[in-house]
Amino acid sequence: MKLRLFLALSTLLFAGQALANDCELEISANDQLQFDKKELTIGADCQQVKLTLTHTGKLPVAQMGHNWVVTDSDQFQAVAQEGMTQGLDNEYLVPGDKRVLLHTDMIGGGESTSITFDVSTLEKGGDYTFFCSFPGHWAVMKGKLIVE
Ligand code: ZN
């Protein structure tokens, strides 16, 4: 009886621990080619991160699509430039591009999308840039992803 209680308690404690390491990040984008954040930080205790992108504008995806793409900072311009010709069906990214570490779906006004990823995908202290790969947007819609 006592052992069973102990096991139940430790299961609860373990579940609490796992929750503490699940982190959530939120970013929004609008019809004025702006993300609401220039920097996102993944805390040192995070293991899984859920990132939610919300498009607070009204324009459709074909006209004002936004996504959230992460690459090493020194790769981002090349990835964005090569992606421009890939079309909306490919979300303006070269299919299977290994330089793309993370990306959400591309969405239009009023929509939101999220991805969950393991922090081990990234290196602590790495130099990462997030951006929107829609043609032309990446010139202004970009920021730093910091992994503590
Ligand atoms: Zn965009």
User: Is residue 2 within 8 Å of 114, Cβ to Cβ?
Assistant: no
CATH number of the domain enclosing 140: 2.60.40.420
- Other C-beta atoms within 10 Å of 34: how many? 17
Kindly report the CA angle at 36 between 106 and 84, in degrees rounded to 5? 35
Domain count, the chain: 1
**Which segments of 1-148 does DSSP mark as H helices, in order?**
2-20, 61-64, 76-83
- The domain of 8 spans 2-147
Distance (angstroms) between ligand 1 centre and the Cα of 48 equals 25
**Dihedral of the CA atoms 138, 74, 126, 120 (nearest 10)?**
70
Distance (angstroms) between ligand 1 centre and the Cα of 98 equals 21
**pLDDT per 10-residue tile (average), the chain, 148 residues:** 55 52 94 98 95 98 98 97 96 97 98 97 96 97 97
Distance (angstroms) between ligand 1 centre and the Cα of 72 equals 19
Task: Provide the token pair at 45.
Answer: 């205790």
Q: Given this model, what pLDDT does residue 22 score? A: 84
Q: Given this model, what pLDDT does residue 80 score? A: 97
Task: Provide the token pair at 8.
Answer: 């139940």
Distance (angstroms) between ligand 1 centre and the Cα of 42 equals 22
pTM of the model: 0.86
